[in-house]
Structure 1
Amino acid sequence: MKRFTFLKKCAALAAAIVLAAGLAGCNAITIDGEDTSEGSAKGGNAIGFSVSTLNNPFFVSLADGAKAKAEEEGANLIVVDAGDDAAKQTSDIEDLISRNVGVLIVNPVDSDAVAPAVKNAVSKGIKVIAVDRVVNGVEVDCQIASDNVAGAKMATEYLEELIGKGAKVAELEGVPGASATIDRGEGFHQVADTDFDVAASQTANFNRAEGMTVMENILQSDSSIQGVFAHNDEMALGAVEAIAASGKDIKVVGFDATDDAQEAVKAGKMAATVAQKPDKMGETAVAAALQILAGETVEPSIPVEVELIK
């Protein structure tokens, strides 16, 4: 009987220890002076990836490259789609912060609008990697991008080879405020402002349907356009449709080297496109995130090469 009572006491003591451990796991604990409670400076091991849109082949490739690398490494990657909505991206990032991700990869819809949410992530101790586009006014841990200025300049110089100096051209711009829009516009104008007659520079928001509509309107206003530089392939392909309907011979150069654009180049419908290798950027972003989580140092800027496809 005494033995049975002793065993009951031991069992009760063991249960109490387990319960205490469980309760401790539900509350903040301090290890080596670091607070590990939810929302504290100590992040988790998950990687959050806020992508600007998954309604564009380029960014689908960007996300696919990230997912493939995460799967290969057995990493926990959370991908959220902002749908080209800056307000939604802010909400998405706040949600990732609440999940206590250790690293945030962000591909901004708008480089200015995303800044407050990213600053909040940084204040929580979350490391940040910007991919393809910058976050204005925030010092991130790593910037991964193609040289958009150099790529656009390269494309515009090739357009000049095709249609000659002094030719009349149009520029289809991307989403206003996006760093890719700013940088590709800069590369274009480095050549165009001195070597071309720029008849129109209008936004089509990186969208194929808008690219077609904007190009139709430009042609109605000025039928003497000889060349078009579009900030991405989706707008370039929309412009190609509008030009085909007009029956005119206008050279179109895009940017991103999506599958559809490369097929259009092969078919002679587009003059050229700039290959940015988005899958490689996504892969590189996850690799850098894993280095950060492992406590390793990463380069503040990691360039991914571009090339002209013609």
Structure 2
Amino acid sequence: MKRFAHMLVALLTIGALTACSGGGSTPSGQTPGTGTGTGTQPAPATEPAPAPEKTLTLGLAISTLNNPFFVDLRDGAQAAADAAGVKLVVMDAQDDPSKQISQVEDLITQKVDALLINPTDSDAIVTAVEAANEANIPVFTVDRGANGGKVVAHIASDNVLGGRMAGELIVELIGGQGQVAELEGIPGASAARDRGQGFHEAVDGVQGIDVVASQPADFDRAKGLTVMENILQAHPDIVAVFAHNDEMALGALEAIEAAGKADQIKVVGFDATDDAVKAVQEGRMAATVAQKPKEMGRLGVETALKHLNGEKVDEYIPVPLELVTK
């Protein structure tokens, strides 16, 4: 019995030693639990999540949204911005140069990635362009240019060519004979200067044509009406009118129709807005020079994005013109 007890103790001791060994040994110099045995494995290293891409923001400083042409320009820009997934901040200067300068300064403070500017006044906007240059914000002008500062690209129709097209049509319509009036845009706006230049290139050399009045009506329909009323009183024998935009042309048309001279005076506008094209189709206006403002807005945004992506862009990007007649 005593011999059996000794054997049982020996067997229990061997079993205990075997259990403590864990079924194997730890390699020399390796901490238990870190090798290939049954120890806990460390979590594999993971790559840090990529930072989300920044959404680009473009600023559009527009001369006025109280004109269907510039509403179309804004809409074209907005559609292009939406398609590209970028933010577009639009500022309406309401034809006030000082207000536009303040708005551009505000966009600079917001640190927009690029500025699209449709200047109210090509001279006055220079200080705002220079402020953007100092802030390293690229500037693009649309429809109207800036007379100073660094501009990456200008997106516009050839306004000199458009004015010449209008003038040549008037010469044809009146057979090279008669008194003509001109309604000018905002003094200082590049579009007004260029359209007037092209118009005079076409008519000034024609011996039988006399431009008896060239007066600003600030691209505004109501002012076009008032200025035309005054011109009709001073020059009742005029036979044609060229207006630097359709809003002034439509205002002039109201004055002409009210004076009972609709059959005597040919009116040519510029921009091909919906109201003007309708007036041409109805035979009330002789013609309008068609620009494509939505295309300008689209090209403005796309050109700015190309530049921001490091692509080379042309300094002048033309938008085609065409003459709309009945």
TM over 0.5: yes
Matches within 5 A, 1:124-143: 124-143=135-154
Equivalent runs, 1:102-117 vs 2, <5 Å: 102-117=113-128
Residues 164 and 202 of structure 2 are in contact (CA less than 8 Å); yes or no, is this contact kept in structure 1?
A: yes
Deviates more, 1:136-145 or 1:254-263: 136-145
Report the Cα offset of residue 102 of structure 1: 1.1
Residue number in structure 2 paired with 1:280: 295
| 1:286-305 equivalent positions in 2, closer than 5 A | 286-305=301-320
Aligned equivalent of 1:233: 246
Deviations along 1:234-293, whole A, 9 cap, x unmatched?
000000000001111200000000000000000011000001100000000000111122
Q: Does 1:94 align with 2:105?
A: yes
CA contact (8 A) 1:106 1:128 kept: yes
Q: Tell me by how many angstroms 1:44 deviates.
A: 8.4
1:49, CA displacement in angstroms? 0.5
**Which runs of 5 or more residues in structure 2 are unaligned?**
1-53
State the SS of the aligned residue for 2:238: coil
Q: Match of 1:22?
A: none
**Greater share of residues in helix:** 1
Q: Give the whole-Å Cα distance in 1 for the aligned partners of 2:164 and 2:178.
A: 16
Q: What is the aligned partner in structure 2 of residue 183 from structure 1? A: 194
Mind listing any 5+ residue stretches in structure 1 that lack a counterpart?
A: 1-42
RMSD: 1.1
Within the candidate set 73, 77, 84, 2:84 is matched to 73
1:200 maps onto 2:200 in alignment: no
Q: Is 1:165 the counterpart of 2:170 in the alignment? A: no
Cα-to-partner distance string for 1:68-118 (whole Å, 9 max, x where unaligned): 111111111111101100000000000000000111000000000000011
8 Å CA contact retained: 2:129, 2:150: no
Tell me, yes or no, if structure 1 residue 307 matches structure 2 residue 322: yes
Moved over 3 A (4+): none
Residue type at the aligned position of 1:108 = P
Larger Rg: 2
State TM-score, norm by structure 1. 0.85
Cα distance in 1 for partners of 2:247, 2:62 equals: 17
User: Matched residues, percent identical?
Assistant: 58
Matched, 1:220 2:248: no
Q: Which residue of 2 aligns with 1:152?
A: 163
Q: Which amino acid counterpart does residue 218 of structure 2 have in structure 1?
A: N
The question of whether the paired residues in 2 share the 8 Å contact of 1:45 and 1:293 is answered with no
SS of residue paired to 1:254 = strand
Q: CA deviation at 1:45?
A: 2.6
TM-score computed with the length of structure 2 as normaliser: 0.81
Q: Describe how 1:42-61 pairs up with structure 2 within 5 A.
A: 45-61=56-72
The equivalent position to 2:275 in structure 1, one of 232, 251, 260, is: 260
Letter in 2 for 1:219: L
| Preserved CA contact (<8 Å) 2:62 2:70 | yes
For these two proteins, the number of residue pairs brought into alignment is: 268
SS, match of residue 90 in structure 1 = helix
The one-letter code of the counterpart of 2:127 is P
In structure 1, what residue type is equivalent to 2:173?
Answer: L
2: CA distance between counterparts of 1:289 and 1:255? Answer: 27
